Chain A
């Protein structure tokens, strides 16, 4: 729990910080002839650190796998990690540093849409390549970004369709609560378009937004109870709040005694990590929707899970060794898919690597063979609906038959 080693290390380094300028020169500049660099842009401090920080280590782990297998095109890959400190402009700055100073051949980074938007011009203008491991609002298609995760039309709508089916409880009334920014708003807009196509009228849904970091959900949950008991059919909550609002929302849900059997919640950004501080026995049955769930059974998944727990304990990292979340797997997939593209292109040069994208596949730990087409830089993946279990994890309730083709621009938006 208390990571003494790291603290000592930190304070030791603190003392030696005056030496920082001395190793400036050695770290900057192009790599040795036998190595090539990739960069990480995940915050290990600030508001996003809780979920984002571990992705740095995932990339390191995946790169170690590549190197153990002889590297890429015979070169050893080196990972350069920076800390954008949850400060959006700093993502751009660090991205620029990774591309221009460190000559990184690919970047793996960003969690929030705004951080991606911030790095976007940097990679576009400097011939960079960014692998983005999060699901997001879609409506963007940059030639320089590989979208490892799903846009809403290919992940959220299948989940909604399930919940509106008889098996899913014939949901017909929807309370949409989200953080006030583009991802939740886009998703809800797509949802509303979808509702309209299904003949669901405006009286049957309610939409509300909260500021970032909002945690006083008492009023909203009172309102949800009221909404749920009104006539018109089975209600569900579509939850698109993010970050620390998620556990706060669940805490109040538990507190007001609302069970999945009363009003089910479809949490679109809910991860195992969000359940870490909660007593999940009262949350059992609530749902989330991702392209990977940890409980899926297959050889690749067993492999990555054991590799991660070994990596965590071997390096004394402050992350849970047995939690594997979708963005981690997406980042992991990203590293491997990049390596495949490089091997195929026969060079590390970005334009050539981009040319090689079409038809790259990878056996993802989710159990699907995920693939890229030359049409856009989206990756086709399977979809899972998970249901919260007693052990702060998700059981798989439903999964798609194949990998739906990602739709960057939703017809409903």
Chain B
């Protein structure tokens, strides 16, 4: 039904358009195209604004729709460099093997000698193009009752002062807009109302800005405050400074939450990187320097699964990360088991030697992957639901991918805890940790426990690789970035304690991120390292070491 309606409408429009797009209109439109073709930022911006105003010149919805479609077409052609101009300033839009006149939209041809060139999209033009496209899209949507993309809404938010005022006043008059759009538009209006002399308008604007506290609204208010003349009414001055104070408070809370959130997300990454190590080092006493490489392998397996899905089941692509979880866990765990079987098992009585052997393993794995896949960073498809985030308090942005990482870390923590504390396997692992001979004597197959725990540790590292694949660079040497940090976390936490690892990850992550803005990232790392060394002096077996009679 809707399709039919749209089709009919567009036919009608084509007719209506050809009727209305003559005379004055045609002059306007060619002037706009001429402006866009100028390659001069000022003129291009003027043309874009004229284009915006042009869309709401008529009150006839059909005309509006037609003009809005044309405007969107032109802007998209401009940003995609499909709009090409002759030296005389007439514009054409390049399609696949066809050329249309930018003004009439009709197919056309140009003499081969005429050199067509896309106008330079200088930096100042981009924001204007984006904002005009966004408001135009809203206008079109209000006529056709379609939805507006989030992206357009966001760009309104970012550059309220650049919104075309005629388009804005048109939109504010529409009654059929969804609530979220209305809110955005009111915010945009508030920025423009700040310059209003009317006290009611001004206080409405202040109220809206206070509700949407951000550094941007603060800046706008401070600018207004400094421009207020001393004779301005006392209430205006007071209202403004009240609003500024309120926003500043909220910004500070937001900033604090931001740091906390960054710390939390960094902690969850540290935790993911360290938990596998906590198992193999903590429970088994194996110093596995190849742990970082298991993280890397986990990321590469995720990549392979992504590529397989892309070729064989494209529809599942948005869920490739979820689909990968079992594969990554089992495959990385399998590789871990193979390494345990071939290398580690010879070395249980010589923990310092496992350090060297696993260093060898790590060199081997890095180079094997390098030979197989090359050294470049792998490209991971980031599902749309992991991009962006939501602004909560002031400028505190909760980004989805970090939130997902935190959630994933919590999940891994729970699963590991259950596995170690609530299952037969976990009991066996702990028994072997406590007393290998005794465990063997009561019938626990210690070899099997060794292989399985090492596989578990490797599998968990693989999962860390999966979680990190959309945040960090994935290349053969990515693992080495994590190994020192992971060891610090495990040692600080106390060997053999999952909770210790968690606490240490939180501590290191949050302290690191909290110091960073003050002394810089380099100093933050140095300070955290120093703290860890000092803590180890006081608690040689970590924060959470188990007190047992040895």
Contact = CB atoms under 8 A, between A and B. Distances in A.
Do chains A and B make direct contact within the complex (CB under 8 angstroms)? Answer: yes
Interface centre among B374, B388, B513, B516 (most CB of A within 10 A): B374
B536 to A, nearest CB: 22
B477 A46 contact: yes
A219 interface: yes
How would you classify the secondary structure of chain B's contact residues: helix, strand, loop or mixed? helix
Nearest to B261: A218
Nearest to A8: B371
Interface stretch (B58-66, B281-289, B375-383, B453-461): B375-383
Contacts of B259: 219
B41 A50 contact: no
Interface string B357-398: 000000000011011111111111110000111000001010
Nearest to A254: B387
Interface centre among B373, B375, B381 (most CB of A within 10 A): B375
A229 B81 contact: no
Contacts of B266: 216, 218
A208 B520 CA distance: 7
Interface stretch (B14-22, B200-208, B215-223): B215-223
A260 B42 CA distance: 18
Contacts of B513: 216, 218-219
B262 A225 contact: no
A261 B377 contact: no
Contacts of B255: 222, 226
B504 to A, nearest CB: 17
B76 to A, nearest CB: 12
A197 B42 CA distance: 26
B347 interface: no
How would you classify the secondary structure of chain A's contact residues: helix, strand, loop or mixed? loop
Contacts of B373: 1-3, 318
A229 B123 contact: no
B126 A261 contact: yes
A287 B123 CA distance: 10
A3 B262 CA distance: 39
B77 to A, nearest CB: 14
A278 B262 contact: no
Interface stretch (A120-128, A167-175, A185-193): A167-175
Given A218-B402, A257-B388, A210 B379 contact: no
A229 B214 contact: yes
B257 to A, nearest CB: 11
Interface stretch (A96-104, A140-148, A149-157, A244-252): A244-252
Contacts of A6: 371
B219 A50 contact: no
B522 A251 contact: no
Nearest to B215: A229
Contacts, number: 175
B123 A168 contact: yes
A47 B375 CA distance: 9
A112 B129 CA distance: 39
B537 interface: no
Contact of B401 (A248, A255, A273, A284): A255
A306 interface: no
Contacts of A248: 472-473
A319 interface: yes
A34 interface: no
A203 B266 CA distance: 30
What's the interface size class on B, roughly? 35 or more
A50 B474 CA distance: 11
B178 interface: no
B124 interface: yes
A351 interface: no
Nearest to A2: B372
Contacts of B222: 231
Given A3-B371, A256-B399, A222 B258 contact: yes
Contacts of B236: none
Contact of A259 (B130, B379, B522): B130
Contacts of A226: 215, 255, 395
Interface centre among B81, B121, B269 (most CB of A within 10 A): B121
Contacts of B395: 222, 225-226, 229
Contacts of A167: 40-41, 122, 124
Contacts of B307: 1
B94 interface: no
B470 to A, nearest CB: 8
A302 to B, nearest CB: 19
A213 interface: yes
A202 to B, nearest CB: 17
A219 B397 CA distance: 11
B100 interface: no
Given A256-B389, A276-B379, A277-B377, A209 B371 contact: no
Contact of B375 (A53, A223, A225): A53
A180 interface: yes
B481 interface: yes
Nearest to B81: A395
Given A262-B127, A285-B126, A211 B473 contact: no
A163 B219 contact: no
Interface centre among B223, B371, B382, B402 (most CB of A within 10 A): B371
Interface in B491-547: 513, 516-517, 520-522, 525
Contacts of A222: 255, 258, 262, 395, 397
A170 B475 CA distance: 38
A210 B121 CA distance: 32
Given A218-B262, A261-B127, A210 B375 contact: no
18 contacts: A1-B373, A163-B123, A167-B40, A167-B122, A168-B123, A169-B122, A180-B522, A208-B520, A222-B255, A223-B517, A248-B473, A254-B387, A255-B389, A255-B402, A261-B130, A277-B379, A279-B382, A319-B374
The 7 closest A-B pairs by CB, nearest first: A169-B123, A277-B377, A229-B215, A318-B374, A261-B127, A261-B126, A49-B375
Interface of A: 1-3, 6-7, 10, 45-47, 49-50, 53, 163, 166-170, 180, 208-211, 213-216, 218-220, 222-223, 225-226, 229-231, 244, 247-248, 251, 254-257, 259-262, 264, 273-274, 276-279, 282, 284-285, 287, 318-320, 387, 395, 397-398
